[in-house]
């Protein structure tokens, strides 16, 4: 309500003439809202005449009150921003005090390439700081980058040489070296990267146009089976399906994933579930085995397999399972990773696409994410993966009948696997390996954009970095191994060109190369060598346009378009490092680290998701409370307590300081767009370097 001094005289007439406009003040912490109340005044009365002359004026007290409320709101926002800044600073201080960096390698993890790469960036940073100090000193001496008042034929270096002093002579020599020796090759490298950037942008534009065409024409794979949901169909209409679940130390998600798969709507006599456990933790293995035995008692055909020696990681696990004698009784194999939980009708929606299409070797479903809004990191990942499935996979599947197998949520014809040579452990991307070999044998792939399988995204930056390293080093290993096979294969010429130039070179090699080189190396260098120019449209307009195109499949993520653009450039360091290690067969190219799961998809998130969708879904995969209780009763000495650990990433921090140094240098030459890009990109690297995005849980 209004304050006490807002008395009757203020409401009626105040100082004896026309009164102000009454207001209602709603004090709802932390915001205030003000609404005006129309005065009930007779137009013919003296007060009405005065109000007509003065309009809807406010008296001094009302204006003061409104200004105070607005000041309070502004102060509240400033306080919130200050609190957030203090929280971030405190988190950064804890990271630095802990001293835990990415140089603390896990057992068996190689750090040679990572150390060399960091030393190279650090040397570049030190050189940039030195150059910045020189340029600042020259700027205050009045030796600007350009001297328009000089006579014709008289260069800036000549003017500096005429000035007495060792520093002036040294700076003149630096300008001469910069102009004659550094600028030409840097400009050539800049132009080359810009050309690659534009080629990749055209590729992305073509993909988006292809996706738009698919949407407008309603193109999608149509199964030949008309009565796929006929409940009276005999078991002969349901082919024999083998379901494989490879897992390794994934204690948080195994229970609900096994439950979801065992509740697939398919005749139990026509499918077998293989739980392929590579866990080296005895407690986890015992829990998984107990869960399998529980479903065996329920009448589900499910077996538990455990390898003592984990040769070949996931590929070796799948290869070992396919060597079982009973596999010959099955025609198809479905693969689900440990955190994937398919809907009950998954097989009934996927299997009909094989009927009458003997040349179809793979049917791939789309991923959906139960934790896509958990934190900023998962939101940005969701943008990338939505574009990957909605655009890349759908367009390639529709027009080329080929795409990279995603490693899970896919159905393979076993004959296609055997014809392609089976699973191989030669790379860390066994899924892409088998897909390329099957494509070379002439098998076709189908992508189902309307069939989704739930999973979870990595919530920590550490887990996401390791995942991206594996995903970007493996393709380069594979390209080295299968290049000759692609050339010798019997597929068409244009399919060979698509595999070599688009699938491998452009999207797996050129993309991380120019992203890192152009925005993290060339752009800072052009600030210190201004004779080489990088146009503003390359720095700002084209990247923003590409980001808008990438975010279209996830329209709810539009508020995150700027963080997404900065995030992609920041991740280019990890992707470039992985690409180089895979291309040159360095030690880190063979690292395989299982992506850590948080288990969010195993409890309340699934319940909320089921309630959100009105379509009938499985109800038998709810958590087993008895098993959970038994798990809690296990000796605590065998269970490690979860602790939060965050690392400092030295490469990201070094690049952050490099970009911020270049931003300071750009101020001297008044390059507005370049300054803002370098400033915000440097801050983005700083956030990543201090591990302030996502949450690491061990």
Give me the active site residues, please: 278, 431
CA torsion through residues 333, 338, 340, 346, sign: positive
Beta strand 444-455 with 341-342 is: antiparallel
Alpha carbon distance 474, 581 (integer Å): 9
Give CA angle at 337 (384, 281), nearest 5°: 120
The phi-psi region of residue 265 (left if phi > 0; otherwise alpha if psi is between -120 and 50; otherwise beta) is beta
φ, ψ for residue 667, nearest 5 deg: -65, -35
Alpha carbon distance 390, 367 (integer Å): 10
Transcribe 646-681 into DSSP letters.
Answer: --B-HHHHHHHHHHHHHHHHHHHTT-HHHHHHHHHH
Place of tokens 């015992």: 286
Alpha carbon distance 504, 429 (integer Å): 13
Both tokens of 219, joined, read 């193109």
Rg (CA), the chain: 32
* Edge-to-edge strand list for the sheet holding 341-342: 302-306, 271-277, 241-247, 332-335, 410-413, 360-369, 444-455, 341-342
Both tokens of 663, joined, read 């931003």
Beta bridge mates, 336 = none
Alpha carbon distance 369, 550 (integer Å): 18
Question: Which DSSP category does 642 fall into?
Answer: P
Four-CA torsion 374, 379, 381, 387, nearest 10 degrees:
140
CA 230 to chain centre: 40
Alpha carbon distance 504, 502 (integer Å): 6
3-state class of 159 per DSSP?
helix
């Amino acid at each position: 309500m209004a304050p006490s001094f807002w008395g009757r005289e203020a409401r009626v007439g105040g100082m004896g003439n026309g009164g102000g406009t009454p207001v209602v003040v709603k004090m709802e912490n932390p915001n205030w809202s003000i609404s005006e109340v129309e005065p009930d005044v007779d137009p013919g009365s003296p007060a009405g005449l005065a109000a007509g002359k003065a309009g809807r004026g406010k008296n001094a007290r009302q204006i003061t009150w409104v200004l105070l409320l607005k000041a309070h709101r502004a102060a509240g926002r400033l306080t919130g921003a200050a609190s957030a800044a203090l929280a971030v600073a405190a988190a950064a201080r804890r990271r630095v005090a802990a001293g835990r960096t990415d140089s603390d390698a896990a057992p068996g993890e190689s750090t040679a390439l990572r150390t060399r790469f960091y030393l190279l960036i650090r040397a570049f940073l030190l050189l940039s700081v030195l150059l910045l100090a020189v340029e600042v000193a020259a700027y205050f001496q009045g030796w600007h980058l350009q001297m328009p008042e000089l006579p014709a034929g008289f260069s800036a270096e000549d003017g500096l040489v005429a000035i007495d002093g060792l520093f002036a002579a040294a700076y003149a020599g630096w300008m001469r070296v910069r102009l004659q020796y550094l600028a030409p090759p840097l400009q050539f490298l800049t132009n080359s990267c810009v050309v690659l950037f534009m080629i990749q942008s055209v590729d992305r534009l073509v993909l988006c146009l292809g996706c738009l065409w698919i949407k407008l024409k309603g193109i999608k794979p149509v199964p030949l089976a008309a009565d796929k949901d006929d409940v009276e169909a005999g078991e002969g209409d349901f082919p024999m399906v083998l379901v494989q679940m490879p897992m390794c130390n994934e204690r948080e998600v195994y229970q609900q994933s096994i439950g979801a798969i065992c509740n697939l709507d398919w005749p139990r006599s026509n499918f077998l579930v293989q739980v392929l456990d590579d866990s080296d933790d005895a407690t986890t293995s015992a829990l998984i085995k107990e869960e399998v035995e529980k479903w065996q008692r329920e009448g589900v055909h499910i077996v538990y397999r455990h390898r003592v020696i984990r040769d070949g990681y996931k590929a070796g696990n799948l290869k070992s399972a396919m060597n079982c004698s009973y596999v010959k009784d099955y025609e198809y194999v479905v693969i689900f990773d440990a955190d994937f939980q398919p809907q009950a009708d998954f097989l009934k929606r996927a299997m009909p696409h094989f009927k009458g299409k003997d040349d179809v070797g793979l049917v791939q479903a789309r991923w959906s994410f139960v934790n896509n809004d958990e934190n900023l990191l998962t939101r940005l990942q969701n943008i990338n993966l939505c574009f990957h499935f909605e655009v890349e996979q759908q367009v390639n599947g529709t027009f080329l009948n080929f795409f990279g197998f995603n490693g899970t949520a896919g159905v393979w014809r076993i004959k296609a696997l055997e014809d392609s040579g089976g699973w191989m452990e030669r790379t860390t991307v066994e899924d892409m390996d088998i897909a390329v070999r099957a494509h070379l044998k002439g098998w076709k792939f189908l992508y189902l954009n309307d069939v989704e399988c739930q999973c979870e995204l990595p919530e920590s930056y550490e887990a996401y970095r390791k995942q991206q390293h594996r995903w970007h080093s493996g393709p380069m290993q594979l390209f080295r191994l299968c290049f000759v096979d692609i050339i010798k294969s019997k597929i068409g010429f244009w399919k060979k060109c698509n595999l070599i130039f688009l699938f491998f070179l452009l999207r797996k090699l050129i993309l991380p190369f120019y992203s890192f080189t152009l925005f993290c190396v060339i752009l800072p260098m052009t600030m210190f060598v201004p004779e080489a120019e990088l146009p503003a449209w390359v720095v700002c307009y084209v990247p923003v346009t590409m980001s808008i195109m990438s975010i279209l499949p996830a329209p709810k993520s539009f508020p995150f378009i700027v963080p997404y653009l900065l995030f992609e450039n920041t991740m280019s360091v990890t992707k470039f490092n992985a690409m180089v290690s895979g291309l040159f067969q360095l030690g880190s190219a063979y690292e395989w680290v299982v992506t850590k799961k948080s288990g969010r998809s195993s409890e309340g998130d699934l319940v909320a998701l089921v309630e959100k969708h009105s379509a009938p879904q499985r109800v038998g995969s709810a958590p087993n409370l008895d098993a959970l209780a038994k798990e809690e009763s296990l000796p605590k000495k065998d269970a490690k307590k979860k602790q939060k650990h965050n690392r400092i990433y030295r490469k990201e921090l070094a690049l952050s300081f490099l970009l911020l140094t270049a931003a300071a240098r750009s101020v001297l030459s008044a390059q507005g767009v370049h300054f803002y890009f370098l400033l915000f990109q440097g801050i983005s690297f700083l956030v990543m370097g201090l591990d302030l995005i996502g949450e690491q849980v061990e």
